[in-house]
Amino acid sequence: MATRAGRQGGQGVNEIPLPALFTQAKDVTLAVLHRRLDEEGFEGIRYSHGAVFRFIDAEGSRLTVLAERSGLSKQALGEVVTELERHGYVERTTDPDDHRAKIIRLTERGTEAQVAAARILGDIERRWAQHLGRDRITGMRRVLEEVVRFERG
């Protein structure tokens, strides 16, 4: 409904701009992921929660560590953790060895959500592979990774 082409630059730039293309790909993927998670009973999960699910250690991790790994400020990550805690996906415990720090740990439900998310993302990619070609999808992955590495120097 909003797809337009042509008419842009001076010469014929008929392609959708790269940033928009990447954004659309992200958005559709995320929409499917969150819908499925919701259907499986994992409610209230949002994009930024991935900062915890992706980077947390099996034994639990400190807030500061998660903030570093995800690139978020510790304040922002603290907020994310509070929200996940409210939904029962993680719990905060004071580190017995360092009473300043708290250890963030996945609850059982949190681990289930983590596993489900990984499985769903795998399903999505497999479905794409079936419909569009296995090599093309794995190729896209590799090219994207290389592009990111290339531009970051």
Residue ranges in 90-149 that form contacts with its own copies under rule CB under 8 A: 111, 114-115, 117-119, 121-122, 124-125, 128, 131-132, 136-137, 139-141, 143-148
Which pair of tokens denotes residue 145? 């990774």
Q: What angle do helix axes 134-152 and 108-132 make, rounded to 10 degrees?
A: 110
Q: Is 33 in the site for DNA (CB under 7 A)?
A: no
Q: For 107, phi and psi rounded to 5 degrees?
A: -80, 175
The only residue of 38, 39, 69, 126 in contact with its own copies, by rule CB under 8 A? 69
Q: Which does 129 bind (CB under 5 to 8 A by kind): DNA, its own copies, none?
A: none
Which pair of tokens denotes residue 51? 């900062």
Smallest separation, CB 99 to its own copies (Å): 27
b/e per residue, 53-72, with b = 16+ CB within 10 A? Answer: bebbeeebbbbebbbebbeb
Smallest separation, CB 52 to its own copies (Å): 11
Q: Which stretch binds DNA (CB under 7 A): 33-41, 73-81, 117-125, 127-135?
A: 73-81
